[in-house]
């Protein structure tokens, strides 16, 4: 996979669509508001779990799911959920540094060797009934003494179909390269 940034691509897509990324939002709020945030890993885990469960519980069979974990070992705590998601969704992509073997039967994997995705966490869900995107830059990295759930992130979340599709198309192009 060529070097790519979901965060930077999302910023450009929001600017092109006229949506504002300048609006500061609370990631803990369960609303569909587009904007920027600062949060710890616990907040991102919570938000992602809600949206991953939505794919499963609503049986979004046409959903295409892309998840960036920085390192594939970060998938371990949610690997079973991703297996269930892959059984429901039309596509599930797991993207990150190849530091462990995954046991997902139906998910596709893309390995990141260099570039911004080594410090980005993202979840993009694109379907006819629901679209969402969260993307964040890891401010601490793995070389920190902070507990995993307290690592700090800054990022964006968006729900507009146009923005999600624009980012998805660019990500798919990067996956093909």
pLDDT digits (tens), the chain, 177 positions: 888 999 999 999 999 988 877 788 887 766 778 889 999 998 999 999 999 999 999 999 999 999 999 999 989 999 999 999 999 999 999 999 999 988 888 899 999 999 999 999 999 999 999 999 999 999 988 778 888 778 899 999 999 999 999 999 999 999 998
Count the residues in the chain: 177
For residue 2, the model assigns a pLDDT of 85
| Correct CATH for 6-25+32-176 of 3.40.50, 3.40.630, 3.30.70, 3.30.870 | 3.30.870
Report the C-alpha gap between 167 and 66 in whole angstroms. Answer: 11
Helix or strand (DSSP H, E) at 114: none
For residue 102, the model assigns a pLDDT of 87
Helices (H), the chain: 6-17, 41-57, 79-88, 161-176
CA neighbor of 103 nearest in space, from 118, 84, 119: 84
For residue 19, the model assigns a pLDDT of 85
Please, are residues 122 and 7 in contact by the beta-carbon 8 Å criterion?
Answer: yes
For residue 148, the model assigns a pLDDT of 77
The residue with tokens 């949206």 is 51
For residue 30, the model assigns a pLDDT of 60
**Residue ranges of the domains in the chain?**
6-25+32-176
Please, are residues 64 and 89 in contact by the beta-carbon 8 Å criterion?
Answer: yes
List CB contacts of 13: < 8 A, sequence separation 6 or more. 158, 162, 163, 166, 167, 170
């Amino acid at each position: 996979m060529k070097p790519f940034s979901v965060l930077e691509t999302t910023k450009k897509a929001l600017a092109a669509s006229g949506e504002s990324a300048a609006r500061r939002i609370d990631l803990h709020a369960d609303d569909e508001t587009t904007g920027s945030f600062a949060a710890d890993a616990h907040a991102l885990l919570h938000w992602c779990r809600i949206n991953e469960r939505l794919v499963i519980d609503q049986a979004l069979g046409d959903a295409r799911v892309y998840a960036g974990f920085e390192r594939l070992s970060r998938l371990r705590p949610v690997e079973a959920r991703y297996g269930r998601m892959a059984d429901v969704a039309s596509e599930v992509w797991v993207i990150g540094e190849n530091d462990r073997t995954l046991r997902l039967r139906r998910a596709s994997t893309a390995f990141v060797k260099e570039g911004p995705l080594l410090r980005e966490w993202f979840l993009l869900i694109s379907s006819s009934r629901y679209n969402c995107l969260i993307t964040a830059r890891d401010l601490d990295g793995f070389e920190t003494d902070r507990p995993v759930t307290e690592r700090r992130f800054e990022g964006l979340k968006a729900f507009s179909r146009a923005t999600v599709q624009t980012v998805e198309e660019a990500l798919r192009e990067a996956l093909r390269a």
